[in-house]
């Protein structure tokens, strides 16, 4: 049996301009400058720099706007705009909305200049006498080296890929032979397939001493006990003293577990942090400023404005003139909107950061993380009467220069929990205390999570062992067994 029913659904759709404004708010300073440069290049009606006669131009623009909206101007009844505008005349922000969501992140990032890591390795192959087949295999292996310097693939898979993609038909034995040549390249340890092999390669290239020989033996024959820090088992296995073991471990700890990271000219992404705000303490009070690079001087082109005036004054209005004035009107509208969007962006950034600064006043005056109050996005959103997503866009991508260094704004946000006095305290405060306790512990007998929970309880923070474990993992602090030192 079929049933019919009506369902009413209320939905809110953001306009392209609103979405573009959200994207502008999300951009950090350098990406914002790139976006600004792009708009200046694409819209000739938008100009940067100080305007010579701003009041006069604003007056002209306002009057002109009225002119081309009166009875003598072009309107929807006179001309079908779609017939005269081509896609390349539509601003970027009106077309991109169809292809990107408002949550897309800016992907453009500056890259480090110089020779790439792969090129650096390939150039070293020129010093080896290799057959054509060996060179093809070596270059393929070098191309398979990841950012950290490892080849995270099985030799059998490499053999298959050589056949399918390079038309090089070889064997696993031949690839393994060439891989040993790659292991001789600098930096030491490059081309290893796992951490054990990486450390072993580096140790075999060091000067032979009693310490390095023992270190090689440990890595090659007792790697599992070493990583789990089962020192007593190592002492018994190799029949050595604690001093000998300590010296061998010292050799291992000075090795590089990520040889790819040691090459300064590699093509890893380099993020240049430019603070969007600055907070200073002046006469005991906090002072907030917005980076001037976020407040460019923009104005509408006088030349384009005059073109519209010329059209109004013209007695005969030809079809080509109508075509031109549609283009001019569209560009002027886009320029005026973009200038307004920049102003809204500046205001949103400043209001949001000002609210955060006053909310965390005690921290910004002292620099003590223990003075950070519990603060979530909704706290600030409610205070400035904006959406939580807007505050999130500011917090996740913006930096502030403080007397205590440059900080990512989202670092000031944290959840709350109650201490033994029933007061709300920030989880950041608890994590800071936890970090301090671990730093000061006896490394020969590191504290377990149960011990840490007991210490925090004594300090007035009654939290469960599993919560301690969660905070410890968030701080990248290993478990007690892995913090142990001989």
| pLDDT tens-digit readout, 280-300 | 999 999 999 998 887 787 877
| Span between the terminal Cα atoms of the chain, in Å | 78
Pairing state between β 46-48 and 298-300: antiparallel
Do residues 350 and 290 make contact, with C-beta atoms less than 8 angstroms apart? yes
Beta-bridge mates of residue 269 = 111
Calpha distance 68→310 (Å, rounded): 11
Name the most confidently modeled range: 110-114, 299-303, 386-390: 386-390
Q: Taking the model in full, what pTM does it have?
A: 0.50
Calpha distance 386→376 (Å, rounded): 14
Do residues 293 and 274 make contact, with C-beta atoms less than 8 angstroms apart? yes
Give the length of the chain: 486
- Which tens digit of pLDDT belongs to each residue from 410-442? 888 877 676 666 666 677 778 888 888 888 888
Residue 68 has a pLDDT of 37
Do residues 286 and 365 make contact, with C-beta atoms less than 8 angstroms apart? yes
Calpha distance 193→199 (Å, rounded): 11
- Which residue has better confidence, 320 or 137? 137
Burial of 396 (0-12, 13-18, 19+ CB in 10 A): middle
Do residues 46 and 335 make contact, with C-beta atoms less than 8 angstroms apart? yes
pLDDT at residue 176 tops 70: yes
| 3-state class (DSSP) for residue 126 | coil
Q: How many CA atoms lie within 13 A of 264 on its CB side?
A: 0
Token reading at 453: 């929970």
Beta strands in 135-175 (DSSP E): none
- Which tens digit of pLDDT belongs to each residue from 256-274? 888 877 564 444 444 567 8
DSSP symbols for 200-211:
HHHHHTSPP-HH
Q: What percent of the chain has pLDDT over 90?
A: 8
What average pLDDT does the chain have?
A: 76
């Amino acid at each position: 049996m079929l049933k019919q029913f009506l369902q009413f659904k209320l939905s809110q759709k953001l306009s392209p301009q609103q979405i573009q404004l959200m994207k502008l708010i999300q951009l950090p300073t350098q990406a914002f400058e790139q976006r600004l440069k792009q708009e200046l290049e694409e819209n000739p009606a938008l100009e940067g720099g100080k305007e010579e006669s701003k009041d006069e131009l604003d007056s002209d623009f306002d009057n002109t706007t009225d002119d081309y909206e009166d009875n003598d101007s072009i309107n929807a009844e006179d001309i079908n705009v779609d017939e005269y505008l081509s896609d390349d005349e539509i601003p970027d922000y009106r077309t991109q909305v169809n292809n990107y969501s408002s949550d897309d992140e800016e992907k453009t990032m500056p890259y480090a200049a110089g020779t790439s890591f792969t090129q650096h390795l390939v150039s070293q192959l020129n010093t080896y006498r290799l057959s054509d087949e060996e060179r093809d295999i070596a270059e393929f292996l070098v191309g398979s080296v990841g950012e950290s310097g490892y080849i995270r693939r099985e030799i059998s898979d490499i053999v298959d890929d050589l056949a399918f993609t390079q038309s090089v038909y070889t064997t696993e034995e031949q690839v393994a032979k060439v891989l040993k040549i790659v292991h001789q390249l600098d930096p030491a340890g490059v081309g290893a397939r796992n951490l054990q092999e990486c450390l072993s390669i580096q140790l075999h290239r060091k000067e032979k001493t009693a310490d390095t020989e023992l270190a090689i033996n440990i890595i090659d024959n007792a790697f599992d006990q070493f990583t789990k820090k089962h020192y007593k088992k190592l002492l018994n296995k190799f029949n050595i003293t604690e001093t000998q073991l300590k010296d061998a471990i010292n050799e291992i700890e000075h090795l590089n577990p990520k040889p790819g990271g040691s090459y300064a000219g590699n093509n890893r992404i380099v993020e240049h942090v430019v603070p969007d705000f600055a907070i200073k303490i002046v006469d005991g009070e906090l002072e907030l400023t917005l980076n001037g690079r976020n407040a460019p001087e923009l104005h509408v082109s006088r030349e384009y404005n005059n073109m519209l005036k010329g059209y109004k004054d013209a007695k005969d209005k030809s079809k080509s003139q109508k075509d031109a004035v549609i283009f001019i009107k569209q560009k002027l509208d886009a320029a005026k909107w973009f200038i307004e969007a920049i102003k809204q962006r500046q205001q949103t950034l400043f209001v949001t950061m000002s609210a955060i600064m006053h909310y965390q006043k005690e921290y910004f005056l002292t620099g003590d993380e223990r003075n950070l109050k519990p603060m979530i996005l909704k706290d600030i959103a409610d205070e400035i009467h904006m959406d939580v997503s807007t505050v999130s866009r500011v917090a996740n991508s913006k930096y502030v220069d403080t007397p205590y260094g440059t900080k990512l704004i989202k670092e000031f946000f944290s959840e709350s929990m109650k201490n033994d006095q029933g007061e709300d305290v920030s989880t950041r405060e608890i994590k800071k205390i936890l970090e301090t306790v671990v730093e000061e512990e006896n490394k020969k007998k590191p504290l377990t999570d149960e011990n840490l929970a007991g210490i925090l309880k004594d300090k007035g923070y009654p939290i469960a062992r599993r919560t301690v474990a969660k905070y410890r993992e968030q701080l990248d602090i290993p478990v007690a067994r892995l913090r142990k030192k001989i």
